[in-house]
Structure 1
C-alpha cells in the first residue's frame, strides 16, 4: 500500500542519504541530473563545475531534489524537496560546506579529476537549494 510520509520521515530520508536527482528547467525543458549532497535541516548543499545545470539555475532558481530508498519492488520511500537555488559566495561558508562535502564524498568526479590533472585548479561552484516544501511517499507490503 502506498502512503504519505510524515514530515519527520521525509526529513530523516534527506538526512540519511547523499545521492539524489536534481531537477531544474534548462532552455525551457525539464533537466534532471544525479548529484551528491549534504542536508543540514534547512538547505541542501551541492558542489558543481560550471555547466548546463548552473546556467539553468542562475536563469530560473526554482529547483527540486528527489531522493529514493528502494529495498524491493514494493518496499520503497521517495522524497521530493522543492526550493530555490542560492550560490554560496561567502568564503567562510564556502570553505565550511566544501570541507563537509569532501569529507563525506572524498573522491572527485571523473570530470573534475580530468580537469584538475589537465588544466590545473578549476572553478568549483557551491550552491544550496533552500528548502521551501518537502513531500514524500512510501510503499510497504
Structure 2
C-alpha cells in the first residue's frame, strides 16, 4: 500500500534521520550530494567546506532535500523538501547550528577527534579555527512525504 505521510510523520522523519540528499542546479544541470544535517526550528541545518555545492547554491539558492527510511523495497518512508539555501553569517547562529549538528552526528562517529572536516574536534569551541566551515540552513518552502508498506 502506498500512502501520504501526514505533517506529524514528516516532522518525525526529518527529526529522526541524520543523512539526506541535497539537490541543487546550475544552468539546468542538477547536482545531488549526501549531507549530514540536523532539523531544528522548521529548517535544515548543515555545513560544508568550500566547493561545487556551495558555489552552485550561492548562485542559485533554490534547492531540494530528500530523506528516507528504507526497511525493504516494499517498506519505506520518504520526505522531499523544497527550500532556499541561506548561508549563516551571525557567529552565534553558526555556533548554535554547529553544536546541534555535532551533538546529532557524534553518536555515529567511530573516532570523534578524527573528524575535523565535520567540525568534530575534542573541543567543540575550537570549531572554525583550523577549518573553513560554511554553515548554512535550508529555509523550507514546502515538504511532502510518502510511504509504502506491505
- 1:94-109 equivalent positions in 2, closer than 5 A: 94-106=94-106, 107=112
- Kindly tell me: are residues 109 and 63 of structure 1, through their superposed partners in 2, closer, same or farther at Cα, counting changes over 3 Å? farther
Note if contact 1:26-1:52 (Cα within 8 Å) is conserved in structure 2: no
CA distance in 2, matches of 1:29, 1:48: 21
What are structure 1's unaligned runs of at least 5 residues? Answer: 114-119
TM-score normalized with structure 1 length: 0.88
- In angstroms, what is the RMSD of aligned CA positions? 2.1
Cα distance, 1:122 vs. partner? 2.1
Q: Aligned match of 2:140 in 115, 128, 131?
A: 131
CA distance in 1, matches of 2:45, 2:104: 12
The match for 2:37 is 37
CA distance in 2, matches of 1:109, 1:127: 23
- 1:1-141 equivalent positions in 2, closer than 5 A: 1-106=1-106, 107=112, 112=117, 121-141=130-150
CA distance in 2, matches of 1:17, 1:108: 22
CA distance in 2, matches of 1:35, 1:18: 8
- Kindly tell me: are residues 27 and 51 of structure 1, through their superposed partners in 2, closer, same or farther at Cα, counting changes over 3 Å? farther
The match for 1:117 is none
What secondary structure does 1:92 align onto? helix
Provide the aligned length of Structure 1 versus Structure 2. 136
CA distance in 2, matches of 1:31, 1:111: 25
CA distance in 1, matches of 2:133, 2:86: 14
Cα distance, 1:41 vs. partner? 3.7
- Kindly tell me: are residues 72 and 64 of structure 1, through their superposed partners in 2, closer, same or farther at Cα, counting changes over 3 Å? same
What are structure 2's unaligned runs of at least 5 residues? Answer: 107-111, 119-128
